[in-house]
Amino acid sequence: MLIISSKLNTLIREALREDVGKGDLTTKIFVSPRLRAEAHIFAKQSGVLCGESVLRNVFAHVNPHLEISVRVKDGDLLREGEEVFVIRGSLRSILIGERVALNFISHLSGVATLTRKYVEKVKGTNAQIYDTRKTTPLWRELEKYAVRSGGGTNHRIGLDDQVLIKENHWRSITNDKVIRRKINEAKKKKFTEIEVRDLNELRCVLPAKPHAILFDNFSLGKLKEGVQIAKRFHPTPVLEASGGVSLENVRAIAKTGVDRISIGALTHSAPAFDFSLLVRDIHSK
């Protein structure tokens, strides 16, 4: 279960402030403060749940006296029509927190669900599914948690986690000897990975023995050849493929022998998971 950090607590508070503004005009006019109710949140599709603690935190900000019952936990599979949460208490409070709570769990469950699809596709191979830094600004902690809930693995959280030499870093150094020297310098400080765009770049960097090689946008044929070349070196670096990965081709990529497949779409293109909140048993205090 995700622990709500002070940073996430602030994000949730600001999301509520954005939505509620000076107050929920409709609810104030139409809903008596004396009314209590039960609200049931249902899954309208099958998939993977993520965001229980976020939902709890949203409603706690609105009204700490609301009672929330949880039928499943993060990472569990949901069936279409399954009841996921029950919220009891002030009807006004439930309605005020409804949209923000659903927005959070819809996006996070969408990320977890898409991740699980990729994880299932590569079952039986040695490849693991990784995310990237292509996350929604300020949502990285949440989205990377959602990837883990779906069975995926987190790549670096930020630029200070590891060294990852990409195409634009290559452009600043045109001498092969210099790039190898820089790799050796980097290895002394942090886990060091280098992105290669073709087999010539691969052959250039392998003598420097980076901890990991990232094959960027390789065709299946070239990727398989690159993996075979890299595995002749000892110690063999961690081998990662990225670029152009889809549910249709991810298994074929996994079968080339790579250790990791990183997919930006897990966080930047996951469809929202469809939930519905229905209010029942409305009564006065």
51 in a known ligand binding site: no
Annotation-wise, does 264 bind a ligand? yes
Q: Is 99 annotated as a binding residue?
A: yes
User: Residue 54: in which H helix or E strand, if any?
Assistant: helix 52-62
User: Is 46 a known ligand-binding residue?
Assistant: no
195 is catalytic: yes
Catalytic one of 74, 195, 201, 240: 195
- CA distance linking residue 235 with residue 231, whole number of Å: 8
Task: Name the residue with tokens 């986690």.
Answer: 161
Catalytic residue (choose from 99, 190, 203, 209): 99
Non-local CB neighbours of 15 within 8 Å, separated by 6+ positions: 58, 100, 103, 104
Tell me, yes or no, if 167 is annotated catalytic: no
Q: How many angstroms separate the CA atoms of 133 and 262, rounded? A: 10
Is residue 132 a known part of a binding site? yes
**Helix or strand (DSSP H, E) at 97:** helix 91-121
216 is an active site residue? yes
- Annotated binding-site residue? 166: yes
DSSP lists the bridge partners of residue 203 as none
Task: Name the catalytic one among 34, 166, 177, 231.
Answer: 166
- 17 annotated ligand binder: no
> What are the start-end ranges of the E strands in 146-252?
163-165, 192-196, 212-216, 238-242
**Active site residue: 71, 134, 187, 209, which one?**
134
Tell whether 195 is in a known binding site.
yes
Q: Is 285 part of the annotated catalytic residue set? A: no
CB 67 within 8 A of CB 37: no
On whether the CB atoms of residues 74 and 113 are closer than 8 A, the answer is no
Beta bridge partners of 78: 47
Find the catalytic residue in 24, 74, 216, 240: 216
Q: Is 99 a catalytic residue?
A: yes
216 is in an annotated binding site: yes
Residue 257 assigned as binding residue: no
Q: Which residues are annotated as a binding site for substrate?
A: 99, 132-134, 156, 166, 195, 216, 242-244, 263-265
Q: Which residues are annotated as a binding site?
A: 99, 132-134, 156, 166, 195, 216, 242-244, 263-265
Catalogue the active-site residues.
99, 134, 166, 195, 216
